[in-house]
Structure 1
């Protein structure tokens, strides 16, 4: 199935009566009111997905701020959203799919292939003048059976050595990569050898993904190439999934480091470096290894 579905394609499915499970992943760093936003307005029939409790386990310094939940728990959540085997699932949010991509990746990793992102999310739907709903729909429980391991992942040990065998992309904002600010994690900077590739660079001004050719040009300019192992991390493994979706649109495959920088920076044995480029990281490794103040 294609990574993206357009508003027109979704509207056609809905009008035809084709079974489609709409999942609203309204979440943003620093905004705890996702459910309230959803209840106020969402796509007709969409079910709210709570990223913090349904797409992540409890925060753990050794696993990061949003560790992946156990498979059994994720399957139970998916059934609670009404997902059945064979369904088409369309995930969206109101932030360019920066949060919804986490659900897309998790379902794909769980062996559920018929999931895509609504390109442009809620804003694109509204831009077409289409109706939204308030409140919460009644959901009939699903029976989906999920598995694990369908998408490539790496751990901290692999991330430490990754730049020696491939390309490690840091999907956070550039100022966090450079170590100028760090609002949530204990140290500021990036994993040695990582290349800055902010997730927001995947999107046009309207929150839709850039065309495939443009994304391919962007990623090849960052060093991505066929046959070169590529992995992605962010702060806690959420927006890195968006980068993996963008890479897929561009024709590339990449692994996710689920623990990401929140896991990495909590381990004092891991070097954290600052600066605008990966070159010379080894000489900078003592610049940001002490805890930094932040939210």
Structure 2
């Protein structure tokens, strides 16, 4: 199980050893401004050699009612940026953030979706790196551009119809916090609240410990097994706009379970008034 986990998650010590050994590793920092608090994640420090990227600019397209709040990025735009970042197919790409890997997981998913074969997340992110006593720097990284070619579609995806079908034929996990899953009244003109029929509540914050790293494999396995995810039944994940869902896809990958993601998620689902919405703590209306 440790080998499975290390294919998608690296501890600070593992990353440090890889770099010290001369392995071909490209480290990418995923910065963001918290959409709820306005707090900037970037403090002026970075892992030496890390390339700066922006969560809400580089790994998504502009929001639209039809596609949701965070549509997948245009592949040509992403390719142009990946070349400027110096990404190469031969390199192990390690992404990190400063907040429980929420934005790093989105970057991981998008880069894998675009065809990069070896992308991993620094478990615990920049706080874990600092806590381990490893070096940081204010120096910006000078990058040699690459000529990488990207293409979309290398990760399992769901559209709205596929998500609804999977909810009845397999397991569809809702990675939002419980209040958003349960729903409730909204002011006139605001999107409906609730969840996709038959979806099971599985809040993404449960994937991590109080310290911000992903919880151990036996605990993740037991947690998702209790929700019907045992490795045999098809699994899909959605959230509000494709961020927390990527986090849960990553958590499942760390225990050897492949899951599809609905990138449009709830923000796209509720745009169509004909799509059903269930309110309450149960997967189906009662």
SS at match of 1:117: strand
Corresponding residue of 1:255 = 260
Counterpart-to-counterpart distance in 1, 2:94 and 2:202: 26
Say whether 1:15 aligns with 2:13: no
Gaps of 5+ in 2: 1-5
Q: Which one of the candidate residues 39, 44, 51 is aligned to 1:40?
A: 44
- Picking from 112, 118, 122, the partner of 1:118 is 122
Residues 168-208 of structure 1: CA deviation (Å, up to 9, x unaligned) = 1000111111115889x722111111100000111111111
- Contact 2:24-2:90 at 8 Å conserved across structures: no
CA distance in 1, matches of 2:258, 2:267: 23
- CA distance, structure 1, for counterparts of residue 230 and residue 30 of structure 2: 31
Task: Confirm whether residue 109 of structure 1 aligns to residue 138 of structure 2.
Answer: no
TM-score (norm 2): 0.91
Q: Check whether the contact 1:107–1:115 (CA below 8 A) recurs between aligned residues.
A: yes
Structure 2: distance between partners of 1:29 and 1:227: 36
Measured after TM superposition, the shift of residue 33 of structure 1 is 5.3
Counterpart-to-counterpart distance in 1, 2:127 and 2:173: 28
Identify the residue that residue 153 of structure 2 maps to in structure 1. Answer: 149
> Counterparts of 2:92 and 2:226 in 1: how far apart (Å)?
34
The equivalent of 2:3 in structure 1 is none
Q: Which residue number corresponds to residue 35 of structure 2?
A: 29
d(CA) in 1 for partners of 2:36, 2:146: 32
Structure 1 residues 149 and 260, CA gap change in structure 2 (3 angstroms)? same
Is the 1:39–1:136 Cα contact (8 Å) retained in structure 2?
A: no
Residue 204 of structure 1: aligned partner? 209
Separation in structure 2 between the aligned mates of residue 32 and residue 83 of structure 1, nearest angstrom: 29
CA contact (8 A) 1:175 1:181 kept: no
| TM-score in terms of structure 1 length | 0.89
C-alpha deviation, 1:12, in angstroms: 1.4
Gaps of 5+ in 1: 284-295
Say if 1:230 and 1:254, in contact at 8 Å, map to a contact too: yes
Alignment of 1:119-138 (within 5 A): 119-134=123-138, 136-138=140-142
Residues 90-116 of structure 1 show CA distances to partners (whole Å, capped at 9, x for unaligned) of: 001011111101111112122212110
Report the Cα distance in structure 1 between the residues aligned to 2:210 and 2:177, rounded to whole angstroms. 16
- How far apart are the structure 2 equivalents of 1:181 and 1:209? 34
Question: CA–CA distance in 2 between the matches of 1:24 and 1:186?
Answer: 33
Could you list the per-position Cα deviations for residues 68-103 of structure 1 after superposition, in whole angstroms to 9, with x for gaps in the alignment? Answer: 012111111111211122011100101111110111
- Would you say the 8 A contact 2:48–2:139 is kept in 1? no
1:268 to 262, 265, 273: 273
Match of 2:68 in 1: 64
1:65-104 matched pairs, under 5 angstroms: 65-104=69-108
Alpha carbon RMSD of aligned pairs, Å?
A: 1.9
Deviations 1:95-145 (A, max 9, x none): 111110111111212221211000110011010122222253222212222
The answer (yes or no) to whether the contact 1:85–1:143 under 8 Å persists in 2 is no
Q: CA deviation at 1:163?
A: 1.8
Alignment CA distance shift 1:47-1:66 (3 Å): same
Q: 1:256 to 1:89 in 2, by over 3 A?
A: same
